[in-house]
Amino acid sequence: MRVKDKSIIVTGSGGGIGEGIARRLAAEGARVIVNDINAELGEKVVAAIVKAGGTASFFAADVTQSDEVKALVDAAVQRYGRLDVMVSNAGWTHRNQPALEVSEDDFDKCYAINVKSIYLATIHTTPVFRSQGGGSFINIASTAGVRPRPGLTWYNGSKGAVITTSKSLAAELGPDNIRVNCVNPVFNPDTGLSAEFAGGPLDEDRKARFRASIPLGRFSTALDVANAVLYLASDEADFISGVCLEVDGARCV
Ligand SMILES: NC(=O)c1ccc[n+]([C@@H]2O[C@H](COP(=O)([O-])OP(=O)(O)OC[C@H]3O[C@@H](n4cnc5c(N)ncnc54)[C@H](O)[C@@H]3O)[C@@H](O)[C@H]2O)c1
């Protein structure tokens, strides 16, 4: 059990990559708070974890709202007595389209869910980590923040902000024994956001062209990302901070 008894929040874990992270961490002994805005999806993930013998409970919160993020952090401390790891996974993208056609509302939504969420998670979690003598932030960014491509410009920029912010926080919070790392997945076709990333239904032709840009010859899975998060959450990564780990089959090389 690589994260036995650690208390871990995974935001946006009612589906997609977050669900994979929550399940994997629970399978390795973590006590997981499954967070999402969609309670029905979140409760289903909790039920699956509990059925498999793990420990999890759901907490509804919108990661863009300060009072809700504070309540989420408080809930983890109340339920599990402490908080060891905050995984900020909830994210959103505007549709793949020319930068000048993305609406102001979609820009604001993208930055609220992808970037402001990191600010709020940091503000509300850091005091808890400090009072416990340390903790670990893991932020799910994207290869989009490292190797931006046309069509997702504002999303790419939001993930670049997540990466730079995480590195800055690693430097600033290190003296408090707080680690801050990112995981950067490449495209995963089995998620809610995949058609938005692709700019339309994912036909075989589109998939084949995208796949050809990944040297290992396949897309990422939620399990690939979850395994990277598991390592960063575990004590094996005790001296790893300020790292942004690509889970991308060498796409970013
Ligand atoms: N899917 C990919 O190809 C891919 C690639 C690289 C990075 N990512 C990143 O991985 C993360 C997860 O993406 P995914 O593809 O699994 O997406 P998804 O849409 O499948 O799942 C995201 C989950 O977040 C929840 N959510 C949305 N807004 C929220 C909010 N304000 N507060 C709380 N929960 C909220 C949704 O209800 C959903 O359950 C995101 O940060 C995304 O940018 C995804």
Q: Looking at beta carbons, which pairs linking 47-55 to residues 24 or more positions away fall under 8 Å? A: 48/23, 49/22, 49/23, 52/23, 52/26, 52/27, 54/23, 54/26, 54/27, 54/30, 55/26, 55/30, 55/31
Tokens 């946006």 belong to 12
Render pLDDT for 130-143 as a digit per residue (tens, 0 to 9).
Answer: 999 999 999 999 99
**Which one of 21, 115, 191 would you pick to mutate in the ligand 1 pocket, going by the greatest count of ligand atoms within 8 A of its CB?**
191
> Average pLDDT over the chain, rounded to whole?
97
Helix (H) or strand (E) holding 211: helix 204-211
Mean predicted confidence (pLDDT) in 87-106: 98
Render pLDDT for 170-183 as a digit per residue (tens, 0 to 9).
Answer: 999 999 999 999 99
pLDDT value at position 206?
Answer: 86
Q: Do residues 34 and 56 touch, judged by C-beta distance below 8 A? A: yes
Å from CA of 12 to ligand 1 middle: 6
CATH number of 7-247: 3.40.50.720
Residue 63 is encoded by which pair of tokens? 């990661």
- Ligand 1 neighbours (beta carbon < 6 A): 11-12, 14-18, 36-38, 41, 62-64, 89-92, 113, 140, 142, 185, 187-188, 191-194, 197
* Extents of the domains making up the chain: 7-247
pLDDT value at position 60?
Answer: 98
